[in-house]
Structure 1
């Protein structure tokens, strides 16, 4: 999965998007803070390749993208919009292939701009980055080649507070950043930074009206933060492999960024620090039971603005959830299976 698979919908309900063989499932609260319903298949009966991406707009709508087999030896990308967590999503609709036809080229990433248009990014056959975006009045623009060279799989797409879309990619010995200069225009190559990045560890978050912050693990195993226009900052040793989950929240009256990651011990580790003030320091605190090796973690704020964390293990079929208690600090309720 790529993107925030734990979301708060327009009606305040939380929902999760789950891989299940050749399908994507959705589970949602029956109402804000109420028990959860049974899983439901997203987008009809089409068979999908493993792996999908989720983007979330300011309007609360979820946009999902996945690869599906087309003819023998070829695949294409499909898109679905989910307007309400408790309602059926739209059927999967084809959006093509960056080279018109061919096999899977990389995991997609999705960001949704201020006008509610999905922007889909994927590594292309030449190991650059290609994108396709929704038109404002329906349909899709043509595929565009954003260039790039030796791009690793695992793009991170994000929408800034400005409503404009950005995308980050790891390359050997560095990170490349594309950014929309104007709404509705394709992102352009904005900056490249040299840094020893581990592919597959990128995660991005909007952290101010002007900037987004990229989190990644370097080759030494440290978790780093980078805002274009500045130098990467080593925040703390990574708790475990894979990308972190990140969310902005208020802790004891301060605007903070909360990070979560499955730790090497198998539990969920949390770290918080004042947003964009990495030198203030952060440290991990572990919570919950030990999780299988394939478990991932997601963060969101619920309808009452409480931080909610979820962990998902596809191999065990286990989905756990906790919420922040109504008290100072980052005290969490007991993890429970849903």
Structure 2
């Protein structure tokens, strides 16, 4: 899954999304901080491919993108955790037809419009966005060549959407010059990013930061206009999760990744101050070895971490304790 699959809805309830065979499942808290309901299928009996991209807007609505069985990409909106998400709605194939294995990304601007990015058959990047008055605009070819892995997208300054994508020996970056305008790929930096490890996060009012693992096993940070910075060794394998949060009164970025030695590892540092250094703290060696991790802030602004096992569907949660530092409660099965 591409994006943070643990989100906090506008009513304060947490919800998670899970892949289960040909379906996407959703689970939600019954009340903020309370027990969870049983998994529910998104879209009823409509089947999808085992791939999912998730994005969330400032309105807290969740936007889900997957591949339909024969209709290209499909989209669903989830307004509140205890409401059922909308049925899957086809948004077509970027090439008209063809390969459906390319993993998409989705980000939501400050007008609540989803922007979907996916590689095309020529190895470039395509984008389609929701229109201001309903429906969807056309697919647009953003160019690029020899792109690899899934893109990473986020809403940056003024809600402008920014996107990063790996190519052979480089990372490409694009953004909207102004909100709700035509998209442009505008910068390339030399980097050997491992496909499938990219995570984009708005780390200040002005900047987004891309986090990725390079081929030497180093977790790197990059902001356009500069050079990538090696932050620390990767904790293990799997996607990086990231959230901007306040720790002891300081604006921080928290990273998480599945640890090579079991469980999940966390690292925090002052936002956009990679030079301050960071180190991993491992948590939960008792977790299944294939867990994926996601991070969010709950309705009280506390960090919440979720870990789920794709092979078993098991879900675990840990919350930040009411004490200084980044102390988390033990993992609890949901």
- The equivalent residue for 1:337 is 333
What is the SS of the residue equivalent to 1:153? strand
Structure 2 contact 250–270 (Cα < 8 Å) conserved: yes
Structure 1, unpaired ranges of 5+: none
- 1:230-249 to structure 2, matched below 5 A, reads 230-249=226-245
- The equivalent residue for 1:48 is 48
Determine the C-alpha separation between the residues in 2 that align with 1:222 and 1:84.
38
What is the SS of the residue equivalent to 2:221? strand
Give TM-score, length-normalised by structure 1: 0.97
- The equivalent residue for 1:67 is 67
- 1:106-255 to structure 2, matched below 5 A, reads 106-255=102-251
Q: CA deviation at 1:294?
A: 2.6
**More moved, 311-320 vs 20-29:** 311-320
Q: CA deviation at 1:298?
A: 0.5
Q: CA deviation at 1:105?
A: 4.7
What is the SS of the residue equivalent to 1:178? strand
User: How many residue pairs align between the two structures?
Assistant: 334
1:94 corresponds, among 71, 83, 90, to 90
Q: CA deviation at 1:274?
A: 0.4
What is the SS of the residue equivalent to 1:69? coil
Deviations 1:134-160 (A, max 9, x none): 001100001000000000021101111
- The equivalent residue for 1:264 is 260
Deviations 1:280-319 (A, max 9, x none): 0000011113333431100001011110000010102210
Determine the C-alpha separation between the residues in 1 that align with 2:266 and 2:36.
25
Structure 1 contact 76–103 (Cα < 8 Å) conserved: no
Determine the C-alpha separation between the residues in 2 that align with 1:161 and 1:44.
37
Establish whether residue 319 from structure 1 lines up as the match of residue 315 from structure 2: yes
Give TM-score, length-normalised by structure 2: 0.98
